[in-house]
């Protein structure tokens, strides 16, 4: 017995698909250091990472899954967002290094400098660059319009926003409004797990706000179960993030000062 020699052949072969068309883009995260997240974009065995704070756990996670790193994306120059890049390049020397061209001096090793409005392809996925100054002067975000992901570094946090190290309240207000204008289903991948403190502050600042109170309870349950609060969504942040809801730069500045001095 064995396989028949003459299997009936279908009259019409299905068209060959382009190499990547059948493989959807997956996004997942690696928790590192105290509260940083490194995001991984994966298509089949191909990977890109966003804001690698450190190299070792990222390389280990990719290798465990048999992935090849093709690109490293940076949102801004702080060491807990770029610290892992030299180590990852030693392991994958051909990986592209994408970052704000305006920050070339503070983000070395760039192979592709970008600016707001640029469109590029990462793992054959269209990516748009959005300028979001405020936390730093050359902070950028990456929006994937096709799959609905946003990588916003330390600009928009779940329930919060980044500290204003190099920018003004007006800049941060404009940056957050730019991100909040994306489709509401857009998944928001920020670079830190700051959500619980952000929402505790928000609930204390807006004590009558039911949406914030409910969101805080959801997040507390998620965190107690050991799950990340990231990603959020643009719709959720529009509803429950006081910085996104701030009417103008003045209101945002007041909220930022309040949060800077707040202690649980």
Distance of CA 71 to the CA centre of its chain: 14
C-alpha span between 134 and 161 (Å, rounded): 9
- Phi, psi angle pair for 125, to nearest 5°: -110, 130
Candidates 2-10, 102-110, 150-158, 174-182 — which segment interacts with Fe ion by CB under 5 A? 150-158
Please tell me the count of residues contacting Fe ion according to CB under 5 A. Answer: 2
Is 77 one of the catalytic residues?
A: no
**In this structure, what token pair is assigned to residue 161?**
């926003």
Q: Which is nearer to Fe ion, 103 or 125 (CB)?
A: 103
Is 124 one of the catalytic residues?
A: no
Query: Is residue 154 part of the contact set for Fe ion (CB under 5 A)?
Result: yes
Active-site residue, from 78, 139, 149, 173: 78
Active-site residue, from 80, 103, 118, 139: 80
3-state secondary structure of 124: coil
Q: Which is nearer to Fe ion, 176 or 216 (CB)?
A: 176
Interface with Fe ion (CB under 5 A), residue from 43, 77, 78, 259: 78
Query: Is residue 256 part of the contact set for Fe ion (CB under 5 A)?
Result: no
Please give the order of strands across the beta sheet that includes 36-43: 26-32, 36-43, 46-50, 68-73, 96-100, 112-114
Is 6 one of the catalytic residues?
A: no
> Which helix (H) or strand (E) element contains residue 232?
strand 232-233
- Phi, psi angle pair for 205, to nearest 5°: -80, -35
Q: How far is the CB of 122 from Fe ion (least distance, A)?
A: 21
- Under the rule (CB under 5 A), what is the footprint of Fe ion? 78, 154
Residues noted as catalytic: 76, 78, 80-81, 135, 154, 192
């Amino acid at each position: 017995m064995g396989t028949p020699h003459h299997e009936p052949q279908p009259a019409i072969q299905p068209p060959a698909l382009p190499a990547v068309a059948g493989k959807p883009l997956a996004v997942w995260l690696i928790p590192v250091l105290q509260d940083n997240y490194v995001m991984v974009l994966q298509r089949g065995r191909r990977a890109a990472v966003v804001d690698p704070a450190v190299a070792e756990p990222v390389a280990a996670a990719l290798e465990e899954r048999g992935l090849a790193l093709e690109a490293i994306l940076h949102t801004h120059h702080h060491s807990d967002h770029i610290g892992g890049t030299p180590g990852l390049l030693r392991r994958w020397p051909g990986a592209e290094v994408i970052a704000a061209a305006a920050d070339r001096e503070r983000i070395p090793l760039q192979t592709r400098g970008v600016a707001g409005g640029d469109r590029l392809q990462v793992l054959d996925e269209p990516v748009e660059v959005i300028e979001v100054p405020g936390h730093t002067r050359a902070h950028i975000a990456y929006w994937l319009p096709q799959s609905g992901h946003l990588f916003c570094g330390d600009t928009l946090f779940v329930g919060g926003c980044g500290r204003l190290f190099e920018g003004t309240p007006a800049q941060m207000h404009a940056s957050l409004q730019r991100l909040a204008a994306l489709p509401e289903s857009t998944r928001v991948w920020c670079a830190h797990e700051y959500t619980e403190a952000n929402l505790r502050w928000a609930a204390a600042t807006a004590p009558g706000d039911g949406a914030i109170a409910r969101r805080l309870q959801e997040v507390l349950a998620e965190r107690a179960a050991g799950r990340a609060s990231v990603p959020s969504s643009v719709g959720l942040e529009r509803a429950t993030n006081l910085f996104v809801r701030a009417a103008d730069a003045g209101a945002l500045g007041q909220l930022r000062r309040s949060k800077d001095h707040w202690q649980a």
